[in-house]
Structure 1
Amino acid sequence: MARDAPQVDAYGDGGFRLSGARHEGSVLILNDEARAWSVASMAELTPEAFDPVIAAGREAVEFVLLGTGGANALPPRPVRDALQRAGIGLEFMDTPSAARLYNILTAEGRRLACALIAV
């Protein structure tokens, strides 16, 4: 089955360009669909921010690729624990690195969710 996953073309100025379209603010890409994500900083990151990912389940999502903003930062323990309980892996890095890696992993056909905090 061919995928129609959005590509991260650019990031900065508080948003992203995904497959040519501008998205203001942070973004969550799940099931090859980009949606606005209310998390604006690591301080706002809660387990509830990942409810759509957890609801999609392990069949749809191997792991979450989290872009932590302008600098790499360890996600809060409750977030890590919630994803672990759901059987969903977590990889995290600064948003620019995560955006580039997302494009590569999507092209490889990996089943991932990508949560990017805008920079």
Structure 2
Amino acid sequence: MKLHADHSDVQMVTGYGPGWLTVNKQEHRGNLLLGASGFLRPWDCTDFASLTPQHFAALAELNAELVIFGSGSKLRFVHPAWLQPLMHKRIGLETMDTHAACRTYNVLAAEGRNVIAALLLE
């Protein structure tokens, strides 16, 4: 599916499919952390089963107002205790499948929100 950004000054997901996504028309094939202001780096996990509390503690250090967690091809939730570092810093977290997370991230980024997408690609 192709997605189109309303604002050219914001980093957006411009397309996605099984195992890949494009950010500003540049293809990526690994798990990704993405922010509207240009933040983009691989997320150091291999799949949902490899996630640990430390992955979510690291997300809290990014100081976003909201984290959109794309849990892969289906909706899956991590243990609530893993979210304590985010809650302690008053950072919201929304969980959805990765394709829904891409769409939601784009809407929030276009609004100028300080949002981070943590995306698992399968």
TM-score, length of structure 1 as denominator length: 0.83
State whether residues 57 and 83 of structure 2, in contact with CA within 8 Å, keep that contact through their aligned partners in structure 1.
no
1:74-89 map, 5 Å? 74-89=77-92
Match of 2:32 in 1: 27
Match of 2:4 in 1: none
Match of 2:61 in 1: 55
Q: Distance in 2 between matches of 1:7 and 1:111?
A: 13
Match of 2:48 in 1: 42
Structure 1 residues 23, 47: closer, same or farther in 2, change over 3 A? same
Structure 1 residues 4, 36: closer, same or farther in 2, change over 3 A? farther
SS of 1:115's equivalent in the other structure is strand
Query: How large is the RMSD of aligned CA atoms in angstroms?
Result: 2.1
The one-letter amino acid paired with 1:48 is Q
Using the TM superposition, name which of 7-16 and 18-27 deviates more.
7-16
**Fraction of identical pairs, as percent:** 33
The one-letter amino acid paired with 1:36 is P
Q: Unmatched 5+ residue regions in structure 2?
A: 1-6
Kindly tell me the number of residue pairs found equivalent between the two proteins.
115
Q: Distance in 2 between matches of 1:85 and 1:17?
A: 32
SS of 2:14's equivalent in the other structure is strand
The one-letter amino acid paired with 1:33 is F
